[in-house]
Amino acid sequence: MAVCDKLSRSREPKWKPWLKTLKEVRLKNASGLLYVLLVLGLPCSMSAGTIVYIDQTVASGFLGSVNFTNALVTVAVIGDTTTAHLNGNGQLLDDGPATVTVAGLGVANFNNIGTALVDTNGPGGSFRAGIAEQATTGTGSVLDTGSNVFSTYNLTTSIGPVIGTALFPPNLAFPTDLGNFHISSTAATSTFTATVATTLNNFPGGPSSAPVFLIGSTVGVVTGTIGGQGSQDYYSFLWSGGAFNATSSITGANAGASYLFSEGVVGSCSAGGTATLDSSDSFTGTIAITSLAAGQYCIGINANDPHDPAFTLTFNTPVSGVPEPATFTLVGTASLLFFRKLRIRFGAGRTS
C-alpha cells in the first residue's frame, strides 16, 4: 500500500504508523528521523496536466438579479494539457469546469462545462484566446482577449499575462448557479493568463494548527480522503497577492454529513473565508477573496462524519508550495543517510 494510502485511510492518527516504523528499525539518530519525516510529506503521485486559464477585464453587466458597473470580472476554466484539441472550425479547445468572479458580488459556477479557446482566424483574421460557454441561446465566448501573441499558442503551456483587445458578445447571457451572467460593456483591454499547475494526488493534510506544506512551485489541485469525526486535512501555501479563488468538493459523503471548508492564516485557517459542504450544496463550496495580501496561508477541510469520502481541492487561482527540486534533493540526501545507517547496523559488508 502506498504511503499516502496508509496515512489517509488509517483510523489511527496519521503519525502513529510511522512511530511504529521508527521503533521497528530502532532509529534514534537524526538521519533516520529526517528520512521518515520527509516521506510523510511526500505525495503518492504528482502530475502536471492541470492548467488554469483566466481572462480578466473591467466590465458592466449583471449577475442574476444584481447589476454591476465597472467591476473587475474574472472568468476561469480548469483544463488539462493532454485534452486540448482542434474543432472543425480550426479552433483549439480545452474543456473544464468554469467560474466567473465579479468583484463585490462573489463567484458563480457556470452550469455547463466551459471551454478555453484559441482562434487563429477570428474577426478580420485576428488572433484571440478566451473562454466560451453554453449560453441561454446558442454558444459563444464569455470573454476573449485579442492579440497576435496567440498566433502560435496551443493551450498546453503557461502564457501571459497577455494584454489585448477585450472581446465579448453583448447579446448573450450565460446560466450560472447565481443566475444568468451577462456583460454589456468592458474596458478597452482584457488580460489572458494560462498557468500549468501540479496536481497532488492522495496527498494527506494536517490539523489546522499544523498544516502540511504543499509541494510544487505551482499547485492547482489536491485530492485525498477525509474520515473520522473531527478529522482535518489542512494545507499551507504561499500566495503572491491578488484575487484568490478555491473550490472544494466531497464525493461519496453521507447525506447527513457536513464538512467545514476554510481558509486563513496558519494557526487558525478560518479567518479568510469559510463554506459549509453538505447535501444542500451537493458538498461543493468556493472561497473567493477579491484581494488577498501576499503571504503564507492555509486552507482545508474539517469533518463531522465518521465515514471516509474523497475530496478534491481546486485552486482556481494556483498557489505556490515548496519547490520540488529542493524537496527531492533533501529526500535523496536523507535516504542515503538512512540506508548507510542500516548498512552499518546490520553489518553489510562483514566478512565471515
Could you read off the pLDDT tens digit of each residue along the chain, which spans 352 residues? 333 433 333 333 443 343 333 333 333 333 333 333 344 444 456 665 788 899 999 999 999 999 999 998 999 998 888 888 888 777 888 898 898 888 888 778 899 888 998 988 766 557 999 999 887 777 788 999 999 999 889 999 999 899 999 999 989 999 998 899 999 999 999 999 998 888 898 999 999 999 999 988 889 899 998 877 678 999 999 999 988 889 898 988 888 888 999 999 988 888 889 999 998 888 888 888 888 999 999 999 998 877 778 999 989 888 998 765 444 444 444 444 444 444 444 444 444 4
Indicate the pairing of strand 114-119 with strand 284-292: unpaired
Residue 152, number of CB atoms within 10 A of its CB: 9
CA distance 301 to 297: 14
- DSSP character for 320? B
Between the alpha carbon of residue 298 and those of residues 19, 44, 266, 307, the distances in Å are 26, 21, 5, 24
CA distance 56 to 62: 16
Summarised one tens digit per residue, pLDDT across range 85-97 is 888 777 888 898 8
Summarised one tens digit per residue, pLDDT across range 167-211 is 999 899 999 988 999 999 999 999 999 988 888 989 999 999 999
pLDDT at 150: 92
Give residue limits of the domains in the chain.
Answer: 48-196, 202-323
- b/e map of 6-42 (b: 16 or more CB within 10 Å)? bbbebeeebeeebeeebeebebeeebbebbbebbbbb
Q: Which region, left, alpha or beta, applies to residue 253 given φ > 0 means left and ψ of -120 to 50 means alpha?
A: beta
Q: Which CATH code is given to the segment(s) 202-323?
A: 2.60.120.380
The interaxial angle of helices 30-41 and 16-25, nearest 10 deg, is 150
pLDDT at 297: 96
Kindly state the helix (H) or strand (E) to which residue 300 belongs, with its residue range. strand 295-303
Kindly state the helix (H) or strand (E) to which residue 150 belongs, with its residue range. none
Instruction: Report the length, in residues, of the chain.
Output: 352
Between the alpha carbon of residue 252 and those of residues 68, 93, 276, 308, 310, the distances in Å are 38, 31, 16, 8, 7
pLDDT at 86: 85
Specify the residue for cell string 451537493: 282
- What pTM value is reported for the model? 0.67
CA distance 280 to 46: 32
- Hey, what amino acid is at 197? A
**Bond before 309 cis per omega within 30 degrees:** no
- DSSP character for 336? H
